[in-house]
Structure 1
Amino acid sequence: MDGGVHGGGILALLDALDNDPALRQALSYDLIGLGLRLGQAGTSTLSWRDVYIIVAQAPRDSAVVRHLAPEAREWGISEQLQASIVDLLAGISWQLGGGKGKRPEPIPRPGVDSADTTPAPAPSKKETAAADTSDPWDKDGTGGTFRGVATPLDELNEWLGWANTSDDTSQPTTPADIASRNERIVAAYTAGGVTYAQLATEFSVSASTIGRIVRAARTT
């Protein structure tokens, strides 16, 4: 704690109380909250050592700390962590936006020089490109977005059972017919000698559908 109270112990506290009326008032306020009075200091009810301990261990929201270290009362570990989280989210949002506009400034911390929280300069385009090529999900320069292979709409409809059979009466339409067809596909593939592509041609479906049916049968 500031004011020389910590360094000099009880004697420093007595000297500070004699020369700092505001400190005396702040300590009186804190003692009242504890059911004590400053006038009791030096008695069997409240020794000067007790007073010193109360001052030395005063919480951040106490009147003594507000007087001796006004900035310290504003920021504890919780506030520091919250500010760090806000700074981190602001930086992520800025990066996801392509780094456009001014880089977010960190939240000022009481008692910390602005230089200590100044963000690092934005990477150059060359550095950004080098970083992107090291990203396994950004080999095509799409910004780290994972892009799979789109499933054709007709295959998706077939998977969901929404296939339009008006133009293809060869495809089964009822659950029983579909199950029967799938059993024949699995049996043919299990017997060997045929590929997914050959079965796809025979049953008028895609090769990926044949693979899905075969894999599903293996897991049941």
Structure 2
Amino acid sequence: MGRGIQGDAGGILSLLGYLEDEEEEAEAIQADLLPMGRSLDFLGTANLSWWDLKCCLKHPHPNGALSRLRNPDHHWDLHAQLLAGIFDGVQGGNWQRGGDPKAKRPEQLPRPGVKPSGENRKSTTALPIDQLRARLRMDERLPT
């Protein structure tokens, strides 16, 4: 597996430390191994080599327990994002064709990691003209 860098445990010792420190992730790894007929109990044997474990950690199955633990929004892949966009477009088109001037515009389907449009904007206040002129004069004095 290799040696550690600058005194850190490398290879097998690093994997052992990881499994001991990250109990929730170790449970997720176990859950991913069980359907394959493997278990962390077999670690270090022909049934589950250290290399196998390293590969499982480095490249987890996209729908596996470890992937879901590391990325709770894993189900929002490109297809789900595109479907949400289509859904929003259909809702918007129906709202426009409805013809009711008092009807509230439909809200977008919430997406993980995306704030509603009102939260993305910074609150701004107008700068008084005298302060603006003072700032512009300061900019003119700066060397270019």
Structure 1 residue 106 corresponds to structure 2 residue 134: no
Give the Cα–Cα distance (whole angstroms) in 2 for the partners of residues 12 and 116 of structure 1.
45
Q: Which residue of 2 aligns with 1:52?
A: 54
Which moved further from structure 2: 62-71 or 79-88? 62-71
**Structure 2 residue runs without a partner (length 5+):** 1-9, 121-144
Q: Which residue of 1 aligns with 2:79?
A: 78
Give the Cα–Cα distance (whole angstroms) in 2 for the partners of residues 117 and 12 of structure 1.
42
8 Å contact from structure 1 (residues 87, 107) kept in 2: yes
Alignment of 1:123-162 (within 5 A): none
Instruction: Determine which structure has more spread, i.e. the larger CA radius of gyration.
Output: 1
Structure 1 residues 93, 30: closer, same or farther in 2, change over 3 A? same
Give the Cα–Cα distance (whole angstroms) in 2 for the partners of residues 22 and 61 of structure 1.
17
Question: Higher relative CO (CA 8 A, sep ≥ 6), structure 1 or 2?
Answer: 2
1:35 to 37, 58, 70: 37
Give the Cα–Cα distance (whole angstroms) in 2 for the partners of residues 111 and 76 of structure 1.
12
Q: Which residue of 2 aligns with 1:69?
A: 71
Give the Cα–Cα distance (whole angstroms) in 2 for the partners of residues 99 and 12 of structure 1.
64
Normalising by the residue count of structure 1, what TM-score does the alignment of the two structures yield?
A: 0.42
SS of alignment partner, residue 63 of structure 2:
coil
Give the Cα–Cα distance (whole angstroms) in 1 for the partners of residues 11 and 76 of structure 2.
25
C-alpha RMSD of the superposition: 3.0
Number of aligned positions between the proteins: 110
Give the Cα–Cα distance (whole angstroms) in 2 for the partners of residues 11 and 98 of structure 1.
67
8 Å contact from structure 1 (residues 108, 117) kept in 2: no
Task: Render the CA deviation track for 1:46-82: whole Å, top value 9, x for unaligned.
Answer: 222322222333234311122222222x322222121
Structure 1 residues 95, 65: closer, same or farther in 2, change over 3 A? same
Give the Cα–Cα distance (whole angstroms) in 2 for the partners of residues 112 and 81 of structure 1.
14
Normalising by the residue count of structure 2, what TM-score does the alignment of the two structures yield?
A: 0.61
